[in-house]
Structure 1
Amino acid sequence: MDNYLQHFLYPSSLFVSRDPYLVKTILGSCVAICLWDKRLKIGGINHYMLPNWSGNDLASPKYGNIATDKLVERMLFYGCRIEDIQAKIFGGGELLDAGKGNSTMIGERNIRLARMMLEEKGIPIVASSTGGKRGRKILFFTDTGEVRHKFLEKQTY
C-alpha cells in the first residue's frame, strides 16, 4: 500500500485514474460503485448520498443516477469499453433507527439504484457488500480492481 498514490473520496464525488491509486472512503447509507476495466487496468469509484436527482437543484454526483452516469462516462473517456468493465457495490446501510414505519430507507434505495443502472448499462456486478446496520470503510486499488472493506462499529458516547 505504501507505493500507491492515495486519494480520499468525499461524498458527492467520483475518481478515475490510469495511474495506480489507493482510494479510501467511508460509507453509511451512501453507496460507492467501484468500476474496473480488466483490459486497460483502469479503475474508478463514485460515492453518492441519494438515489435520484429530482431536477430541482444542481445535477451533482450527490445523486446516484448522476454519479453513476458520470463515472461510466469518465471510464469511457479514458478508453474503456463497456464489455471490459466490471462493478463492485458497497454501502447502503441503514444506520439511523427512524422508528417503526418512519424510515426513508435511503440505503436500500441507493443500492437498488446502483443495481438497476449497472444492469441497464450491461456492466456485471462481480462483488458487493451492501445493506445492514453498520458503516463501511472502503479501500479501492484502481490498478487491480481489488477492494478491501471493513465494517465500522457504532460509537457510543
Structure 2
Amino acid sequence: MSGEPETAFSTVLGSCIAACVRDKITGVGGMNHFLLGVQSDSSKDKYGESARYGAYAMEELINKVLTQGSGQRTELEIKVFGGGNINQKMDDVGAKNAAFVRGFLAAEGYKAEAEDLGGTYARRVVFQPVPGRVFVKHLDSSVNDGLIKEEISKANKPVETHDDIELF
C-alpha cells in the first residue's frame, strides 16, 4: 500500500492473478498476488485464511485502500492481470483464477476498469498507484517452466506467520 508518488509495485504472474486497486481521489493504492481463488476442499483449514487465496487477498486489499484512502467505494479503480495457461499439460488453473476474480468483483459491485487475463504466457506487471498507471509485458514461454515450479512450490508450502506478516 502506498500513496507516495514514486512508488511502483511489480510482480511476475503465470496462472496467478494480481489486482491493482487505487483510490482515484487520494492516489492511495496497492497490489495483491494470489495463487488460487479459493481453498480446495482438500486444503480446507490446512492453512486457514491466507493471502495465497483470492477471496482473502481481494478483501484485504480493497479494505486497506478504502481505510487509507477516501473511504468511498465508488472511487476505487480496479485493474486485474494474469490467469495464463502457462502449462497446457495441466488443468487450466489460470482460467479458474480469472473466472474467480471476475465473479468476485461482480458480486461485490465492482467492475474492472482494465484487465489482461488468460492467454498462454506469463506477464510482468508494474503498477504505479498515484497516477494509476499499469505496465504489462507478456513474457515468452521460456519463463513459464520456472514460474510453474515456483507456483507449485508456493502452493504446497505451509504458511509461516510472524506477527502481522504472512510468509508462504
Give the TM-score, by structure 2 length. Answer: 0.77
The answer as to 2:75 corresponding to 1:89 is: no
In structure 1, the partner of 2:2 is: 17
2:63 is aligned with 1:77 = no
Match for 1:144: what amino acid? P
Could you tell me which runs of 5 or more consecutive residues in structure 2 were left unpaired when the two chains were aligned: 146-168
Letter in 2 for 1:74: K
Structure 1 unaligned spans of 5+:
1-15
* Greater CA drift, 43-52 or 118-127: 118-127
Deviation at 1:58, TM superposition (A): 2.5
| Identical counterparts, % of pairs | 31
Larger strand proportion, structure 1 or 2? Answer: 1
What is the one-letter code of the residue matched to 2:31? I
2:47 matches 1:47: no
Return structure 1 stretches of 4+ with deviation > 6 angstroms.
none
Q: TM-score, normalised by structure 1?
A: 0.82
Residues 116-135 of structure 1 mapped to structure 2, 5 A cutoff = 116-135=103-122
Provide the rounded CA distance (Å) in 2 between the counterparts of 1:85 and 1:119: 14
For residues 99-149 of structure 1, give each alpha carbon's deviation from its aligned partner in whole angstroms, at most 9, with x where no partner exists.
xxxx42210111111111111222221111110000000010010111011
Secondary structure of 1:109's partner? helix
Aligned-residue Cα RMSD (Å) equals: 1.7
**Alignment equivalent of 2:52, drawn from 62, 71, 76:** 62
Equivalent pairs, count? 138
Q: Is the 8 A contact 2:78 2:113 kept in 1?
A: yes
In the TM superposition, what are the counterparts of 1:30-41 in structure 2 within 5 Å?
Answer: 30-41=16-27
Which residue is 1:140 aligned to? 127
Query: Which protein has the bigger helix share?
Result: 2
Q: Distance in 1 between matches of 2:26 and 2:74?
A: 12
Deviations 1:38-84 (CA, angstroms, capped at 9, x unpaired): 11111111100011035322211100111101111111221332110
